[in-house]
Amino acid sequence: MSERTLILVKPDGVRRGVVGEVISRIERKGLKLVALELQNLARETAEAHYAEHADKPFFGELVEFITGGPLVALVAEGPNAIKAFRQLAGATNPVEAVPGSIRGDFALEIGENIVHGSDSPESAEREIKIFFPELG
Ligand code: RTP
Ligand code: MG
């Protein structure tokens, strides 16, 4: 069954110049792009997106980081899109992410791990509304 996922190339990915590389991997996998935009997040938007982590010790840093420069938000669609992109992204901590995955190939630290991908259909629905309200 086709589903949608919200993907971010985080500010470190934009700064590092790997936006094209990430999008290329998404397309190569067979996922279809249905929305794509460079965005500068307001603090409130970042806090809403990462609300599940509000009580974590790294929350402040996470919000600073994600609002620290432009990011690329996109929605991709396809069969098992959510799981498929999490697989492309690799483990949250880049030193545990396998080579061949985005984080495994491009990152070293958990706080700067290049991409975000929704982790469930419920998260995807919530996050797509935050970044692309017009998609509802
Ligand atoms: P994301 O939400 O960004 O796609 O990453 P994820 O699902 O793989 O990981 P999650 O547990 O949702 O964590 C969100 C982001 O918070 C940062 N983090 N820092 N310092 C730490 O221990 C720590 N743990 C998580 C990471 O940048 C992670 O992507
Ligand atoms: Mg997450």
The identity of residue 20, as a single letter, is G
Rounded Cα gap, residues 90 and 88, in angstroms: 6
Domains of the chain: 2-135 (3.30.70.141)
Please list the residues that pair with 9 across neighbouring strands: 72, 115
pLDDT for the residue numbered 1: 83
Atom of ligand 1 nearest to the CA of 119: 7
The whole-number pLDDT of residue 120 equals 98
Q: Are strands 32-39 and 115-117 parallel, antiparallel or unpaired?
A: unpaired
19 in Cβ contact with 75 (< 8 Å): no
Provide the β-strand partners of residue 66. Answer: none
Question: Which two structure tokens, joined as six digits, stand for 136?
Answer: 């509802």
pLDDT given for residue 108 in this prediction:
98
DSSP-derived letter for residue 97 is: S
Tokens describing residue 132:
């692309």
Which ipTM value was assigned to this complex?
Answer: 0.93
**CA of 102 relative to ligand 1 center, distance in Å:** 15
User: What pLDDT is stored for residue 131 in this prediction?
Assistant: 98
Please tell me the distance from the alpha carbon of residue 130 to that of residue 136, in angstroms, as a whole number.
Answer: 9
Residue ranges of the chain whose pLDDT lies below 50:
none
Give me the chain's average pLDDT, please: 97
35-62 pLDDT per residue, tens: 999 999 999 999 999 999 999 999 999 9
From the CA of 117, give the closest atom in ligand 1.
4
Q: Is 112 in the pocket of ligand 1 (CB under 6 A)?
A: no
